[in-house]
A and B are shown apart, each in its own frame.
Chain A
Amino acid sequence: MKFLCLLLISSSLFGKEFPVVIRLPNFKIDIQKKVLVDLESSSSFDGKYFKIVEGTSDEPISFDAPSNLLLKAATTYYHLSFAREYFSQRVQSPKIQKLKKMTIRIDITREFFALSRFANENKPLVYNTATTIPAGVGFPSRGVAPWDMEIWFRPKKAIHIDDLKLRTNLGQIDALFRVFREQVHMMSFQRFMAGVIGQTVNNQSPSAIKTELFWQSSLRIAESSLLMELFYQFRDPLTKLTSRKYFWLETALIPEVIYHEFSHVAMSDSLVLTHDSPVVEGLADIFAVMISGNSKIATNIKKYNTFSGKKAKRKQDYQLQFETSNYANSDFVLGLLWQVKDIIGEELAPRFMFRLSEKLRSSDNIRNQLVKGIRETCEEVCPSPTTQNIQILKSFVIKKM
């Protein structure tokens, strides 16, 4: 009887092919037809584990939706299923194995409000991001029913660079530019002095041609130095002139962002979704890169993202500012955890990171609690805890933590 029921249930699941944004082995994007599995409806994106809806609606998106919406729905469904499989099989998360059907909202611009889920329509609309919403008890007296955890993908909106409060990584580039400028001035000076010395030596047998050549050369040296100085002094307006004007981010079409958001769901028992913190975001990032199999997030995808993305292999030293929520979306913690992953090995990494997430809280800091969590997890999980802990701590010392 049980077998028959199971057969009935399983036979009520569909698989259907849709165009989906995927990553190729060289990390470039492509749109290819992929089978979406575990669909419960034969006409909409309503599956066993995910229901894809548009905006604030509760109705799943139909297969007859416009192609743009269809692409987003199929892409999110496909990649969320992949991420779910990863957490269920590889990480063996009991929470994910028992997870009820989740509502996934795409193209939603309303802000989140903890009491009523959707903030008032008068509030500013939100674009260019994705967020995981914690479950809520609702507001029964006002007719707001309780809701489960959801993932919201905001639509893209082109925003002018002047309207963005960009925290850039130009400090490093500026430093390099300064070094380059100093090198050029030093070179020019050396050339000029070499010329002067040459002239002084040649004065014993002066020649009009040689003198004229010296002055011509000096003029060229002065010109190149002046040009360099002009470039340096006007670098900001020049950078603005030559750089991109508009920025946007279509989160529903970026696989790593989808994995990142689902990771928040997987870790939500210990890392609550009330606020952004570098540790929480970093852990979600490391799962995103482990699921995607590449060290980058949202790069090489100019069509859907014009921000710089995140790179696990970026070389950067620790700074105190990384502990603040302003830097919650920097890739420092991602880089740190990537190093840990390299030390403990690919095989062990998913379980390690998950055990680590269970030890941490949303308000934990990087330098103390995250490191403590990593050490304790390694004591429990690593095959050679002493050796690997030393390797981990050494790598952190080199990052000036």
Chain B
Amino acid sequence: MLAMKYLICLLIFSMKLLAQGQMNSPLPAERFYNDREGSSPFIQKKERSLIAEWEDKVSIDQTKEIFQHALSRYNPSNICAYNLMTDLMALSSQYGKPKSFLLALRKNDVIDDIVLATLLKNFHVLNSKITFKYELTMKLGEEEQKVFKEYFPSNPKLNTRCIDESYKVWKAKMNISDRSVRADSIQVAYQENIINYQVFQKLYRTNLANIDKDYVTLRDYLSKKQELRDQKPILPSERTTLIAQKVKGKNSSYRSQLYQRYDVVQIMFLADIINKLQEHLASTKMILQIYNKDETLLRSIELEEMERFRFALKFLRKEMLELSNNAYFFGQSISYMDLISAAFEVGLISTKDIDEVAKLETLWNPRKTLYEKAAVWIRLAGSVGTLLIPPPYGFAVALGLVAIESSAKKSQKIVSPDYSLF
């Protein structure tokens, strides 16, 4: 009995060591590999010439080797985009421009857009210039000093976070919305010797780049991605441009937004909604059963084809809303593209189907047609025009307006007709 207890303890201890060992072993380049994104929005005409410039001098194998060499001193627990970018700049600048190097990595799918965006942002941080203001007279309060000391200790061994991670939590604690005021507080912290010059440089530049906007840290991204791949292995060749497109009004893609806003469990919940949608769409029978007070079946109503389709969409929208209100999502509003990105990320939709499944949103959220956008102005101009044209020629304008109204394409929203249950 005692021996059994010792054996179990030994087993748990060795598993812990194994896990730690995995966390401390060097990161293979395969972890960064692009397995989901189609053509990159980062690579346009100008970038293609930069890539060509790089590829003229350096072969793809050499490029990969440079990348792997830089990764050699990092493991899943200490990976840091700022430090990695510093190393990549040092290694790649012997052959060409670091930006060209990064773009070449992306073009050859050695890295994906999320890694590229993170590294590019840190590249801009490293290249930005500090403009010293005149000596500031403001003083930091005790609380503010504490925050600086907590997240940027003078002994670097005490800080296990990467600068982007530290910046994010520091910014939240400081609670200063204005970037220039934050910059001033950083300068004052340096003036008062709360932080040293090295930390000051990093922090000042990071603040200047506003790095936490539309940004996911490498450590966060790689750990979530690995966990998702472990739970739901995917086919390697399934890539799509849809989720790599930039979200309107933001500087990051749908896929990047997914990793920024949600953790692994949340992503699985989101993907499950699309899974249910697909099951409902593929279903060949749906029956509504109505029961009496005494739990005897009163009647069964089999849904028709179109009713099943509309039911599937209604159910999806209901689930989306309920998930938003779920305590685990903390009231975050969930968009349909979040569901699509999550489902594709875990391999629940194929590249063949993703575009069409994504377009389903137009049924309950139609895009306004050109006519609908212009309709207000057409009617206004028409009304004013009729005042200026003498009668009876105003007939022509009225006829024109009617002709435009009847023939113009209007956006179609899903309606549940009276002869249909859904």
Contacts from A to B (Cβ < 8 Å): 176, 179-180, 183-184, 187-188, 190-191, 194, 217, 220-221, 223-224, 227-228, 318, 320, 367-368, 371-372, 375, 384, 386-387, 389-391, 393-394, 396-398, 400-401
A387 to B282, CA, bound (A): 11
Which residue from chain B places its CB closest to the CB of A194 in the assembled complex? B387
Contacts of B386 in A (CB 8 A): 187, 190-191
CA distance A375 to B352 in the complex (A): 18
Is there a chain A Cβ closer than 8 Å to B136's Cβ? no
Are A184 and B395 closer than 8 Å at their CB atoms? yes
A221 engages B391 (CB within 8 Å): yes
Contact present for B394 and A224 (CB under 8 Å): yes
Give chain B residues whose Cβ lies under 8 Å from the Cβ of A318.
417
Q: 10 A-B pairs, CB-CB below 8 angstroms?
A: A188-B394, A224-B394, A367-B304, A367-B419, A375-B305, A389-B281, A390-B281, A397-B309, A397-B310, A400-B417
Tell me, yes or no, whether B390 is within 8 Å of chain A by CB: yes
Bound state CA distance, A339 and B390, in angstroms?
45
Interface class of chain A by DSSP: helix
Given contacts A191-B386, A368-B305, A390-B357, contact A184 B398 (CB under 8 A): yes
Contacts of A371 in B (CB 8 A): 304-306
B415 touches A400 (CB 8 A): yes
Of A184, A187, A220, A393, which one neighbours B309 at CB under 8 angstroms?
A393
Q: Knowing A176-B402, A179-B405, A224-B391 touch, does A394 contact B305 (C-beta < 8 A)?
A: no
Task: Other than A368-B305, A397-B363, A401-B306, give 16 A-B pairs with Cβ distance below 8 A.
Answer: A187-B398, A191-B387, A217-B391, A318-B417, A367-B304, A367-B419, A368-B306, A386-B282, A387-B356, A390-B353, A390-B357, A393-B305, A394-B363, A396-B306, A397-B306, A397-B309
On chain B, the residues within 8 Å of A183 by CB distance are 398, 401-402
Within 8 Å of chain A (Cβ to Cβ): is B374?
Answer: no
CB neighbors of A among B378-405 (8 A): 383, 386-387, 390-392, 394-395, 397-399, 401-402, 405
The CA-CA distance from A223 to B321 in the complex, in Å, is 57
Contact, CB under 8 Å: A367 / B402: no
Query: Is B402's CB under 8 angstroms from A179's CB?
Result: yes
A188 and B386 alpha carbons, distance in the complex (Å):
9
Flag if A387 contacts B352 (CB, 8 Å).
yes
Q: Is the CB of B353 within 8 A of A367?
A: no
CA of A198 to CA of B363, assembled, Å:
48
List the A residue with the shortest CB-CB distance to B303.
A368
Chain B contact surface mostly: helix
B7 at the A interface (CB under 8 A): no
Q: How far is the CB of A2 from chain B (nearest CB, A)?
A: 49
Chain A residues with Cβ under 8 A from B392's Cβ?
220, 223-224, 227
Instruction: Determine whether B52 belongs to the interface, using a CB cutoff of 8 Å to chain A.
Output: no
Known interface pairs A179-B405, A224-B395; A368-B352 also in contact (CB < 8 Å): no
B247 within 8 A of A: no
| B residues apposed to A, CB below 8 Å | 278, 281-282, 304-306, 309-310, 352-353, 355-357, 359-360, 363, 383, 386-387, 390-392, 394-395, 397-399, 401-402, 405-406, 412, 414-415, 417, 419
Kindly list chain A residues whose C-beta atoms are within 8 Å of the C-beta of B282.
386
Which residue on B lies nearest to A396, using beta carbons?
B306
| Chain A residues in 8 Å Cβ range of B355 | 387
Q: Which residues of chain A are within 8 angstroms of B406 by Cβ–Cβ distance?
A: 176, 179
| Cβ A390 vs Cβ B402 within 8 A | no
Q: Which A residues are CB-close (under 8 A) to B383?
A: 187, 190
**Interchain CB contact under 8 A, A386 and B402:** no
Chain B residue numbers with a CB within 8 Å of A393 are 305-306, 309
- B398 x A180 contact (CB < 8 A): yes
User: A294 → chain B, closest Cβ, in Å?
Assistant: 22
Question: Is A367 touching B352 in the complex (CB atoms < 8 A)?
Answer: no
B residues in contact with A194, CB < 8 Å: 387
Q: Which residue of A lies closest to B350 (CB)?
A: A386
Nearest neighbor of B352 in chain A, beta-carbon distance:
A384
CB distance from A342 to the nearest CB of B (A): 15
Bound together, the chains give a CA A65 to CA B306 distance in angstroms of 54
Q: With the chains together, A320 CA to B418 CA distance in Å?
A: 10
The smallest beta-carbon distance between B202 and chain A, in angstroms, is 49
Bound-state CA distance A196–B394 (Å) is 18
Residues of A within 8 A of B360 (CB): 390, 394
**Residue of chain B at shortest CB distance from A390:** B356
> Which residue of chain A lies nearest to B384 when distances are taken between CB atoms in the complex?
A190
Complex: chain B residue closest to A190, CB-CB: B387
CB-CB under 8 A from A220, the residues of chain B are: 390-392
B399 engages A180 (CB within 8 Å):
yes
A318 to B418, CA, bound (A): 12
- The verdict on A386 contacting B352 (CB below 8 Å), with A183-B398, A220-B392, A397-B310 known, is yes
A183 CB to nearest chain B CB (Å): 4
Looking at the assembled complex, report how far the CB atom of B365 sits from the nearest CB atom of chain A, in whole angstroms.
13
Tell me which residues across on chain B come within 8 A of A223, comparing CB atoms: 391-392
State the CA gap A224–B415 with chains docked (Å).
40
Of A191, A228, A368, A387, which contacts B353 at CB under 8 A? A387
* Min CB gap A188→B, angstroms: 7
- Are B394 and A191 interface neighbours, CB within 8 A? yes
- Measured in the bound complex, the distance between the Cα atoms of B355 and A384 in whole Å is 12
Q: Does the CB pair A184–B394 fall under 8 Å?
A: yes
Task: Determine the chain A residues whose CB is within 8 A of the CB of B352 once the complex forms.
Answer: 384, 386-387
Q: In the complex, what's the smallest C-beta–C-beta distance from B303 to chain A, in angstroms?
A: 10
Across the interface, name the chain B residue whose C-beta is closest to A222: B391
Per the bound structure, the CA–CA distance linking A42 and B412 in Å amounts to 60
Q: Which residues of B contact A389 (CB under 8 A)?
A: 281
